[in-house]
Amino acid sequence: MGITLPAAAVDAIIRRIAMVAHKQQIYFLWRPILPDPKDDMVLEVAIASGATHIVTFNGKDLRLASQFGITVLPPADFIRLLP
């Protein structure tokens, strides 16, 4: 069972993310490491930024993130973690 959010709530979440986001430089490339090469940049920026989570519907291709201490969650599970 998924969580359905009103469009206004989704917009508010995206605006908040944009307010706190910053451009992260990547100084070390881990490529190729993931089954889908298009996902490598997601893992690289997560590692470089010290992220604890990657929020995605594509968790199966990012399973190796756990080797770097990064938890991969679908959006609904991540939202449940928020205070």
- Convert the pLDDT of each residue in 12-69 to its tens digit: 988 998 999 888 988 888 888 999 999 999 999 999 999 999 999 999 999 999 999 9
User: Residue type for 28, please?
Assistant: F
State the Cα–Cα distance between residues 1 and 70, nearest whole angstrom: 24
State the Cα–Cα distance between residues 29 and 32, nearest whole angstrom: 8
- CA dihedral sign, ordered 14, 20, 24, 29: negative
pLDDT score at 13: 87
The first and second tokens of residue 69, run together, are 């201490």
Give me the residue spans of the domains in the chain.
25-81
pLDDT score at 29: 84
The first and second tokens of residue 80, run together, are 């449940």
